[in-house]
Homo-oligomer: A and B are copies of this chain.
Amino acid sequence: MNTFNDTFLRAATKKEVEHVPVWYMRQAGRSQPEYRELKKKYSLEEITKRPETCAWVTKLPVDQYNNDAAILYKDIMTPLPGIGVDVEIKAGIGPVIDKPITSMQDVDKLYELTPEKDVDFVLETIKILRTQLTVPLISFSGAPFTLASYMIEGGPSKNYNKTKAMMYAEPETWFALMDKLGDMVITYVKAQINAGSQAIQLFDSWIGALNQEDYRFYVKPVMERIFASLKDEGVPLIMHGVGARHLTMDWQDLDLDVVGLDWRYPIEEARRDGIVKAVQGNLDPSVLMAPWPVIEKKAKAILDAGMQQPGFIFNLGHGVFPEIDPAKLKQLTAFIHDYSKEKLAQK
């Protein structure tokens, strides 16, 4: 068996590394021909409920690209049926929820999550992966705002109109929902850590829709509670959202280890603004549509900025698109490793 590569964990905790670790959001999935072949037979739900298959999907890109971390293949919606929310992932649309949450009665009806019963397949996949992987396994959960947005809108949204309407017009219902989702996230994440996950990323993908004032009032309290409950679990905690530059300083207040940046927040500016935590990012995934010299130039600039201090993980600012050629991801990983190794050796 190969030696365990702990570079990702070292970077996440701001320790010295020999090369910059890299993984890609959605590295497992849509852009891989082997995955698309599998999807002809099984839906996302079916794959997640077949631990051996799900482990194979999770491990595939790590082997192919030589990435420094694996991220468990599943959806942020995966635990929701466990609390009584019927979700269907529709191709070309995303998660669709037929009976959206509209009232306190709906919130009252949500159950508590019982991981061994409701997401046993997730825990089983984690256990299998820990026997197979030689890099750390990242698990994840959606964060309450983003989960709530699907539950209230009934699916993906452009404006989060109904979500914000509940926040502003029915704050008691809103906070009750945040409480229940906060409980769920804590239970779900702890179970994943107990099963063997070595890092956790919280996806608050759509939180950037809120301004700072609303974030602080309507969402930050539950995030404080979540991270306070998880900080002693002994694994690095990563926060990610898209277009959330204006909330990054608030994330820094939370008991978490790594702050995700998207491509609109240059790392050097984040450092200048006072972000001292480890950072993860931030190539625009659309750049992977470009010819190699453009990708290399942009990756190099990100590496040069990121390597200025310990605590940098290379990633994309958002997930890999289906159109991306896997060969480019492999080439990019090799470039990140080689370039950073040389630079860090000179330090």
Contact = CB atoms under 8 A, between A and B. Distances in A.
A287 B162 CA distance: 10
Interface in A150-180: 159-162, 164-165, 168-169
A263 B161 CA distance: 14
A294 interface: yes
A164 B212 contact: no
A107 to B, nearest CB: 18
B246 A264 contact: yes
Contact of A245 (B246, B284, B285, B318): B246
Nearest to A166: B289
B211 A323 contact: no
Nearest to A322: B161
A124 to B, nearest CB: 33
A284 B211 contact: yes
A339 interface: no
A208 B242 CA distance: 12
Interface string A281-317: 0001111011100100000000000000000000000
A232 to B, nearest CB: 33
Contacts of A213: 266
A243 interface: yes
Interface in A214-260: 214, 243, 245-246
A265 interface: yes
B168 A318 contact: no
B290 A161 contact: no
Interface of A: 159-162, 164-165, 168-169, 208, 210-214, 243, 245-246, 263-266, 284-287, 289-291, 294, 318, 321, 323
15 contacts: A159-B321, A161-B321, A164-B284, A164-B286, A164-B287, A165-B290, A168-B287, A168-B294, A169-B289, A208-B243, A210-B264, A211-B263, A211-B284, A245-B245, A245-B246
